[in-house]
Copies of this chain bind each other. A is one copy, B any other.
Amino acid sequence: MPVARVVVDVMLKPEILDPQGQAVQRALPRLGFAGIADVRQGKRFELEVEGPVDDAALARIHEMAETFLANTVIEDFTVKVESTETAGASS
């Protein structure tokens, strides 16, 4: 059965304060890492999808991300198909 990995990245919108990212950024110079102007921290979801990742499946995953994985009031998300392994010959 074809199994594909779809990645949903969820990041705070640019205008929303990101205290986690700021904490990381402030710690970096103390640890000897200079030259990082900004850090934003977000979430990455790796979904293993059964069956073909066609437009319908992607639309469903998009809806899932919008309603469930991300809080679209404060977060943006992107959906990316990362790999498609087909057991057999297919695109």
Contact = CB atoms under 8 A, between A and B. Distances in A.
Interface string A31-51: 101011111111111111111
Contact of A49 (B35, B46, B68): B35
B11 A36 contact: no
Interface of chain A: mostly helix, strand, loop or mixed: strand
Nearest to A18: B46
Interface residues of A, number: 32
A68 B44 CA distance: 18
Nearest to A67: B31
B33 A64 contact: yes
A43 B46 contact: no
B9 A44 contact: yes
